[in-house]
Structure 1
């Protein structure tokens, strides 16, 4: 197997425990070893940039983020790539979803460059979770009036099968969007040509790194393209059956038992 030169990881259900923590001291030591070995570390998540920067603030050496499922890449506060959803398509999709009782989610959000837009009349059953993930909320009377660069739409369908609902959305808006289950009844809606693999490819090409020289960790359907694309695709033991089928390796331990950190050690020790 080629030498690994880049490690990319999803965050929720993957790098973080179910209590949204990670071993700061152990990971900081790993980052030093990764730097010494010329292995780059990248965060690849469906979350917005500000949230990711907050999560990794305890380990400031982490400075490269593939956010919004690949639609935004930032390295050391410099935007390397941005591919938002065209605003006319955003408005068409929002209008169609919110006016169709069979499609309407419990809550709908637009993740933009200047905030996460939420309709004032929408309410979530998981307010604490929303407060955690959305640290830039902007309450609006009507999502159709939002005028911003929109990277992602996100909705909660807690009473639906997320994969089936995502398939329904993709069938309803062919060639306009790519809807994918992102966990906990949530579905991310991004541009049809965007996913984490696209973002990771652009970043790796800028650094002269081949796909075969990348290891990527994920646990859910929005990680599929990334895990399939790289030389060492790693699925979490706690991941979905789909991601496990796509992976080259399943972590021996789950996200609550340092699944990612254990495999990083194995990579550093040339045991995988």
Structure 2
């Protein structure tokens, strides 16, 4: 059995419960045990860095983040890697999406280095969730005029259409983007060659860790490449069937019942 040297986990639908909590005391003890065992812990999320800092503030030992679906990698406050969507491509994609009534989302967002940009006329279906996920909102009149380092375009559509729309977006902009369903009726659009698998393995390589030595947890389509690429891909019991299909293991418990923490204990005990 290959020894695990790195654990990467998605956040929403995976590490967090539906009420957006986690067992902080248990996890803090696990972090100490992981450090003693020489196992790195990494957050791998589609969310922006500021949100991830806020989520993991109760356990400040968490200091390594693969944010923006791999587009931004930060370790102990130091940016190790950035991979952005070129500004002309961002403007073109935004203009094309907004001009097509069959593609236009309820809300379109640009996740950048200095803020998450939203047209002031857009109204999310769930303002409370938007305030939770995006704590750096900048309202603008025209997204095609935004000049910033853009890691991701994010759109909000009805949940039952996002798989089909992600496929349409990839077909519409071949070789320019990678559009992935990310849960909660959202699609994340990143650079064509970017996903969590690329980000996680890029980080691991900088530490001398190979993919076979990585365990990764996820529940949604933007986790699929990561789970398929690592040595131990772990799908959540509550995850999508497309993610379970590429996993090596499915958690016995879901995200509301410590599914990730239970498997971390198994890893520490050498049982997986």
CA distance in 2, matches of 1:159, 1:100: 19
Correspondence for 2:124: 124
Note the 1:217-236 alignment, pairs <5 A.
217-236=217-236
Correspondence for 1:262: 262
Correspondence for 2:247: 247
CA distance in 2, matches of 1:127, 1:151: 23
The Cα offsets for residues 85-130 of structure 1, whole Å up to 9 and x where unpaired, read as 0000000000000011011000000000000000000001110000
CA distance in 1, matches of 2:250, 2:192: 28
CA distance in 1, matches of 2:130, 2:48: 12
CA distance in 2, matches of 1:157, 1:145: 23
Check whether the contact 2:112–2:151 (CA below 8 A) recurs between aligned residues: yes
Correspondence for 1:152: 152
Whether 1:83 aligns to 2:103 is no
Matched residue of 2:43: which SS? strand
CA distance in 2, matches of 1:36, 1:185: 39
Whether 1:182 aligns to 2:170 is no
CA distance in 2, matches of 1:160, 1:85: 27
Matched residue of 1:217: which SS? strand
Matched residue of 1:161: which SS? helix
CA distance in 2, matches of 1:53, 1:198: 22
Unpaired runs of 5+ in structure 1? none
Correspondence for 2:163: 163
Correspondence for 1:38: 38
Correspondence for 1:93: 93
Unpaired runs of 5+ in structure 2? none
Correspondence for 2:107: 107
Matched residue of 2:65: which SS? strand
> Following TM superposition, by how much is the alpha carbon of 1:83 offset from its aligned partner in structure 2, in angstroms?
0.6
CA distance in 2, matches of 1:99, 1:123: 18
The Cα offsets for residues 223-272 of structure 1, whole Å up to 9 and x where unpaired, read as 01100011100000000000001000000000000000000000001111
Normalised by the size of structure 1, how large is the TM-score?
Answer: 0.99
Matched residue of 1:170: which SS? helix
Matched residue of 1:104: which SS? coil
CA distance in 1, matches of 2:126, 2:176: 29
CA distance in 2, matches of 1:256, 1:217: 14
Check whether the contact 2:159–2:186 (CA below 8 A) recurs between aligned residues: no
Superposed CA RMSD:
0.6
Q: Give the number of equivalent residue pairs.
A: 272
> Following TM superposition, by how much is the alpha carbon of 1:162 offset from its aligned partner in structure 2, in angstroms?
1.2
Q: Given the superposition, is the C-alpha separation of residues 228 and 159 from structure 1 closer, same or farther in structure 2, using an over 3 Å criterion?
A: closer
> Following TM superposition, by how much is the alpha carbon of 1:161 offset from its aligned partner in structure 2, in angstroms?
1.8
